[in-house]
Amino acid sequence: MSSDNADITQPKAANVTMDTIVSLCKRRGFVFQSSEIYGGFGSTYDYGPLGVELLRNVRNLWWRSVVQERDDVVGLEASILGPEAVYVASGHVTNFSDPLVDCKQCKMRWRLDHLDEGQYETQYGPTKRNKEGQIVCPNCAGELTEPRKFNLMFKTGIGVIEDESSIAYLRPETAQGMFINFSTIQTATRRKLPFGIAQIGKSFRNEITPGNFVFRTREFEQAEMEFFVKPGTDDHWHEYWVKERHEWYLRYGLTPERLRIRPHGKEELSFYSKATSDVEYLFPWGWGELEGIANRTNYDLTQHAKHSGKDLSYFDEETKEHIVPFVIEPAAGITRTALTFLIDAYDEEPDKDGTRVVLRFHKSVAPIKVAILPLSKKEPLINLAHQLEKKLRKHWTIQYDETQAIGRRYRRQDEIGTPFCVTVDFESLEDNAVTIRERDSMAQVRIAIPELLDALKERLNDD
Ligand code: GAP
């Protein structure tokens, strides 16, 4: 095959650099370095006005699809702080660690598995080895130490007395809340297998190599669901959830060619997993995990039953037997998904003033749904524009903007991905109509004001 042909069949990452995304995010108030006026705080980020709307949309779309549209999944909001016993039982105290190596020369610290996988190559070039074939420091080619295990959990203490019993952890995944509450929720809801418990919330990991903006951070948000099934049906449900979750990303507009499903090799599996498939996205730096869908077997319930001394089994009415359910777990990142939507939506096209930057968000993902733009700041016009704004705010997130030329205002909305602009002009006072301008095609249609709400509902509501 010629290289030209090969090019056609190869998926291409979004045509944007991370520098461009980072700068747009700060300039327009999506997300920026936390504690910046104090020099920034290690790999933590604050979400501004547009970022919070974006995150809220991602959360709501996940919740709607995984919980509200189904009759076999219920919700939970468990505490973030947990006692040591939970994480001893779950295996995190012993196993949740990364192999670290230090450079003996420049003292930089690396994750050995990431060195092996070539994850530092974008920044430091191809993985370097010495004459003996051992990996050397990507930064200075110095010799590396033997790997050491470094636990990723944030440890803290509760109460005033510091002893063994006061040790607590910030949760490293939301999942454990679902396992330790399994029996309480099953009894309260009288659910039969299969059924799931879902949760969205913050998790914390002391990542050694955070990076790529909010892709890997120490404080992040997860959306996880533990789907409890009868043993023996687990392979079927695993396949089912991989497909469901893949379709969710497609439904909300990610470019199909930039998505793939990658089953984990045996050596890569987490300590609790029988099989895991990742939904991966082709980021500007290469393929990366967007979500993992794991078959956690009965590992967690068995462990918690053993360590807590409580019966966490399920009574199967059909067979009259007590069983420990298997668990299929789709585990997504809300913050990582928001970043992916941003990257995938980014587009630039030439226009008469230079370049039009457009975030081509799916309408349900877009932080602002409608912008109201009066053509002038004069009285009768802005009165009408404010009336419309007030009415539409009951339905969607709205921005009202009356400053600068209309062309610039359209560009400002394009750059944050607003699907529709409503322009109020002098004729509106005569014909009682406004113009709806669509972001992607820039097509404009005149709509009678009494029909505006329905016209926007038809365009914006997602079914
Ligand atoms: N309960 C299973 C679990 O936590 P994981 O693959 O470690 O599995 C699931 O995490 C998802 O959470 C990832 O696919 C990613 O989207 C998100 N995630 C994990 N670590 C993250 C981090 N340090 N920063 C941002 N997102 C992260």
pLDDT for the residue numbered 463 = 66
Tell me what the pLDDT averaged over the chain comes to: 94
Q: Pick the residue whose CA is nearest to atom 25 on ligand 1.
A: 216
Tokens of 242: 């991989």
173 lines ligand 1 (CB under 6 A): yes
Show the CA angle centred on residue 91, arms to residues 88 and 96, nearest 5°: 110
Q: Pick the residue whose CA is nearest to atom 6 on ligand 1.
A: 292
Same domain, 36 and 12: yes
333 lines ligand 1 (CB under 6 A): yes
Its domain, for residue 70, covers 4-88+165-342
Same domain, 386 and 434: yes
387 within 8 A of 393, measured Cβ to Cβ: no
143 lines ligand 1 (CB under 6 A): no
Residue 349 within a domain = no
Residue from 104, 111, 109, 152 nearest 130 by CA: 104
413 lines ligand 1 (CB under 6 A): no
State yes or no: pLDDT of 87 exceeds 70: yes
37-58 pLDDT, tens digit each: 999 988 899 999 999 999 999 9
240 within 8 A of 229, measured Cβ to Cβ: no
Which region among 6-20, 348-362, 417-431, 443-457 has the lowest average model confidence (pLDDT)?
6-20
296 lines ligand 1 (CB under 6 A): no
* C-beta neighbour count of 418 within 10 angstroms: 27
What single letter denotes the amino acid at residue 407? Answer: G
Residue 75 within a domain = yes
Tokens of 415: 């750059």
Same domain, 44 and 129: no
Mean pLDDT of 118-143: 89
What is the pTM assigned to this prediction?
A: 0.92
Residue 353 within a domain = no
* Separation of alpha carbons 115 and 100, rounded Å: 10
C-alpha 207 – ligand 1 centre gap (Å): 11
Using most ligand atoms within 8 A of CB, pick from 218, 270, 289 the residue to mutate for ligand 1.
289
What is the residue whose two structure tokens read 């980020």? 45
pLDDT for the residue numbered 1 = 37
Residue from 323, 307, 303, 255 nearest 13 by CA: 255
State yes or no: pLDDT of 373 exceeds 50: yes
Q: How confident is the model at residue 5 (pLDDT cuts 50, 70, 90)?
A: very low
Same domain, 80 and 190: yes
Residue from 455, 20, 70 nearest 248 by CA: 70
Same domain, 334 and 410: no
Same domain, 10 and 83: yes
* C-beta neighbour count of 379 within 10 angstroms: 8
331 lines ligand 1 (CB under 6 A): yes
Which SS3 state, helix, strand or coil, does residue 253 take? coil
300 lines ligand 1 (CB under 6 A): no
Which SS3 state, helix, strand or coil, does residue 208 take? coil
DSSP 8-state secondary structure symbol assigned to residue 256? G
Question: CATH number of the domain that 379 lies in?
Answer: 3.40.50.800
Percent of the chain exceeding pLDDT 70 equals 98
Q: How confident is the model at residue 6 (pLDDT cuts 50, 70, 90)?
A: very low
Residue 18 within a domain = yes
Same domain, 308 and 236: yes
DSSP H or E run through 124: helix 121-124
C-alpha 334 – ligand 1 centre gap (Å): 9
289 lines ligand 1 (CB under 6 A): yes
Residue 244 within a domain = yes
Same domain, 38 and 116: no
Same domain, 113 and 247: no
167-216 pLDDT, tens digit each: 999 999 999 999 999 999 999 999 999 999 999 999 999 998 788 999 99
DSSP 8-state secondary structure symbol assigned to residue 146? P
Residue 122 within a domain = yes
Strand pairing category for 31-33 and 45-47: antiparallel
pLDDT for the residue numbered 162 = 77
* Separation of alpha carbons 341 and 56, rounded Å: 13
Which region among 2-16, 100-114, 266-280, 323-337 has the lowest average model confidence (pLDDT)?
2-16
Listed as own residue / partner, the contacts of 258-262 with beta carbons closer than 8 Å and 24 or more positions apart are 258/11, 258/12, 258/13, 258/14, 258/282, 258/344, 259/290, 260/287, 262/287
* Separation of alpha carbons 61 and 58, rounded Å: 5
Q: Pick the residue whose CA is nearest to atom 4 on ligand 1.
A: 173
Q: Pick the residue whose CA is nearest to atom 24 on ligand 1.
A: 216
What single letter denotes the amino acid at residue 357? Answer: V
450 within 8 A of 433, measured Cβ to Cβ: no
Residue 79 within a domain = yes
C-alpha 31 – ligand 1 centre gap (Å): 19
pLDDT for the residue numbered 4 = 46
Same domain, 421 and 302: no
Same domain, 290 and 423: no
State yes or no: pLDDT of 81 exceeds 60: yes
Phi and psi at residue 224, to the nearest 5°? -130, 150
pLDDT for the residue numbered 161 = 79
* Separation of alpha carbons 376 and 311, rounded Å: 69
C-alpha atoms less than 13 angstroms from C-alpha of 282 in its C-beta half-sphere:
14
295 within 8 A of 272, measured Cβ to Cβ: no
242-281 pLDDT, tens digit each: 999 999 999 999 999 999 999 999 988 988 899 999 999 9
Q: Tally the domains of the chain.
A: 3
Q: How confident is the model at residue 114 (pLDDT cuts 50, 70, 90)?
A: confident
- What would the DSSP string read from start to end of 78-97? --SEEEHHHHHHTTHHHH-E
List the beta bridge partners of residue 351. Answer: 354
Residue 362 within a domain = no
pLDDT for the residue numbered 159 = 86
Burial 48-86 (b: 16+ CB within 10 A, else e): bebbebbbebbbebbbebbbeeeeebbebebeeebebeb
Same domain, 67 and 178: yes
CA distances from 415 to 131, 237, 346, 351, 418 (A): 50, 40, 9, 14, 8
193 within 8 A of 229, measured Cβ to Cβ: yes
220 lines ligand 1 (CB under 6 A): yes
State yes or no: pLDDT of 77 exceeds 50: yes
What single letter denotes the amino acid at residue 307? Answer: H
CA distances from 384 to 368, 372, 425, 437 (A): 20, 10, 10, 18
Mean pLDDT of 435-463: 95
